[in-house]
Amino acid sequence: MKYDLSNRLVIGIASSALFDLTACDAVFREQGEDAYRAYQEAHVDDVLDKGVAFPFVRRLLSLNDLAEPLDPLVEVIILSRNDPDTGLRVMRSVTAHDLHVSRAVFRQGRSTHLFMPALNMSLFLSANGSDVREAVADGMPAGHVLKTERVDDDADQELRIAFDFDGVLAGDSSERIYRTAGIDEFRAHEVLNATTPHDPGPLKEFLSGINRIQRREEEERRADPTYQPRLRVSLVTARDAPAHERAVRSLKQWGLRVNDAFFLGGIDKASVMRALDPHIFFDDQVSHLNGTAPATPSVHVPFGVANTPPRTPSRRRPRPDSAVPSP
């Protein structure tokens, strides 16, 4: 019987985001592929430690208790550049950690993100920045998971997700205006276009899938008033009034919602994140994430103008026939 992914929230995750592969990567970099393969085979039964995205994935999968076992709300699929042999350790670690992940794609040394549309994925997470940039360049919704010092509280069953707006949930058209014309022109443009929704950004469909689960939680609470929703979504953006209105209206016109919104107007996001304590935060700007990542699991979405290197003027040598002749 065909297994249909079309109505599920499907996440693709590299083993580097799900587990701590520091030791494995060191063997590969320092000794090469053959030594790496031998190392993985020798340690196939050694359970890999949890990676940065592990708490997010565990909590997301736990929401499947709202559905029938054979019809889950969430599907997480491993996307890996490992070959199937070296991928055995990853799958055994998945089982050892009691994660309900049964599907995987292993492609020895080759990109996996091209299979995202076929698998209905609305997000791909990896700790390999170049893999993520390649995926985003091909139009896929992907994020680079950054290192963090945060230690997860296993007793906390709530899943808190935080998003930046421009370049993450929305496109980067307004960000381009800000960068070329300044803050006053940006605000004037947003006020003038307050009722015009933004173009969707790379993670708009991911939020849509999260909202579907939140609606299922609302159904559960109506049926059982003692049920406490576990999924909470926050918008954390450098926008402030009056530019905030277009962001709120865009979400509404897309049929999406967030539980909390922080319009910070340049206030450091790191201090807000420490208080909010999300299990994952998505932003398109490395300058913000450098502050949040130590205490908050943070994901860089390398999309749009914020991630386009500035052009450097070319220094053209003068043509010989353009030289000024000697007197």
> Class of the 159-306 domain?
alpha beta
**Catalytic residue at 164?**
yes
Cα separation, 24 vs 119, in Å, equals 28
Mean pLDDT taken over the chain: 92
- For 164, the token pair is 């930046």
Q: Does residue 146 register a pLDDT over 50?
A: yes
What pLDDT digit, counting tens, does each position of 87-107 carry?
999 999 999 999 999 999 999
Q: Do domains 9-144 and 159-306 have the same CATH topology?
A: yes
Q: Does residue 323 register a pLDDT over 90?
A: no
Q: Does residue 318 register a pLDDT over 90?
A: no
Annotated domain spans of the chain: 9-144, 159-306
154-163, 207-216, 273-282: range with lowest mean pLDDT: 154-163
Per-residue confidence (pLDDT) for residue 156, from 0 to 100: 80
Structure confidence at residue 311 as a pLDDT band (50, 70, 90): low
Virtual torsion, Cα 143, 147, 148, 149, nearest 10 deg: 170
Name the active-site residue from 46, 71, 156, 164.
Answer: 164
Per-residue confidence (pLDDT) for residue 327, from 0 to 100: 24
CATH 3.40.50.1000: does it fit domain 9-144? yes
**Angle 173-181/183-192 helices, nearest 10 degrees?**
140
| 41 contacts: CB under 8 Å, gap ≥ 6 | 85, 86
* pTM, full prediction: 0.92
